């Protein structure tokens, strides 16, 4: 939709495609290989992929809720395990509060293998939601900002959804837990419902398929971008 917006404003823009389709892998390690690499037992389930963001300010607001939600989920799913792709600019100290009984594993971001085989992903609103769609993984979008930022956003933004995967979809199906709605109890219950509902997972799968189809055209955005740059150079 950006090309239409810019052209309406008089900018000679062209959409070359979404670069994520060339970045996100379509294949990876098997589930058993991933669980073994993460030192989780082979019968561990569900495997939850957690992506709370790459900025420390995001982690500080979102991580404590996700950690508490993981403990709530294990009350109903005692074999649940959690994998966190950790960006290079962060270390384990940026994820405080972990205890001996918490079943977490950290992998170097982007952690494609763990994300490709997870049963559900808790994803901070942003690019990672599109990556999860390309990986065909059920997800719940989470986000929390400072109270003043949320106050301003609610008065300035007109979008019904904040998750990019929902914005791109004609029929949004991915749950969004934002601001005061993002609580440990609500996230755990929403996750348990998603895991138990094949209907809800199928609805998300259909949504992901549509997003993948939309983002796959035009194909090979890097080639198309290079061709457009060459056209401009030749004109000058």
Mean pLDDT of all residues in the chain?
Answer: 90
CB 172 within 8 A of CB 207: yes
Q: Which pLDDT value is given to residue 157?
A: 56
Positive or negative, the Cα torsion across 59, 62, 68, 73? Answer: negative
Q: Which pLDDT value is given to residue 162?
A: 63
Instruction: Tell me the mean pLDDT in the region 2-10.
Output: 92
The pLDDT tens digits of the residues spanning 44-81 come to 999 999 999 998 988 999 999 999 999 999 999 999 99
For the cut 60, the answer to whether the pLDDT of residue 234 exceeds it is yes
Chain centroid to CA 227: how far? 31
Quick one: pLDDT band at residue 38, thresholds 50, 70, 90? very high
Q: Which pLDDT value is given to residue 172?
A: 79
Interacting residues of 118 by C-beta distance below 8 A, sequence separation 6+ = 46, 47, 48, 49, 83, 137
Quick one: pLDDT band at residue 151, thresholds 50, 70, 90? very low
The region, left, alpha or beta by phi > 0 then psi within -120 to 50, assigned to residue 122 is beta
For the cut 60, the answer to whether the pLDDT of residue 155 exceeds it is no
Q: Which pLDDT value is given to residue 174?
A: 93
Backbone angles phi, psi at 142, to 5 degrees: -130, 150
For the cut 80, the answer to whether the pLDDT of residue 148 exceeds it is no
- Taking the complete model, does pTM exceed 0.95, yes or no? no
The sheet that has 139-143: what strands, in order across it? 104-108, 81-86, 47-51, 120-124, 139-143, 176-178
């Amino acid at each position: 939709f950006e090309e239409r917006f810019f052209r309406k404003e008089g900018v000679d823009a062209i959409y070359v495609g979404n670069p994520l389709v060339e970045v996100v892998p379509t294949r990876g390690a098997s589930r058993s290989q991933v669980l073994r690499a993460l030192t989780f037992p082979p019968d561990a389930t569900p495997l939850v992929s957690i992506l709370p963001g790459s900025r420390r300010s995001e982690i500080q607001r979102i991580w404590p809720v996700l950690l508490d939600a993981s403990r709530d989920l294990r009350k109903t799913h005692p074999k649940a395990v959690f994998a966190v792709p950790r960006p290079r600019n962060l270390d384990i100290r940026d994820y405080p509060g972990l205890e001996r009984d918490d079943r977490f594993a950290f992998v170097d971001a982007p952690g494609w293998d763990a994300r490709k085989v997870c049963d559900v992903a808790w994803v901070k609103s942003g690019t990672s939601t599109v990556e999860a769609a390309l990986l065909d993984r059920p997800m719940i979008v989470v986000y929390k900002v400072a109270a003043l930022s949320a106050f301003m956003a609610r008065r300035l933004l007109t979008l019904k959804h904040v998750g990019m995967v929902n914005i791109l979809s004609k029929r949004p199906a991915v749950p969004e837990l934002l601001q005061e709605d993002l609580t440990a109890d609500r996230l755990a219950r929403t996750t348990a419902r998603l895991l138990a509902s094949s209907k809800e997972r199928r609805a998300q799968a259909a949504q992901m398929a549509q997003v993948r189809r939309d983002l796959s055209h035009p194909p090979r955005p890097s080639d198309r971008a290079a061709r457009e740059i060459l056209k401009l150079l030749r004109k000058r």
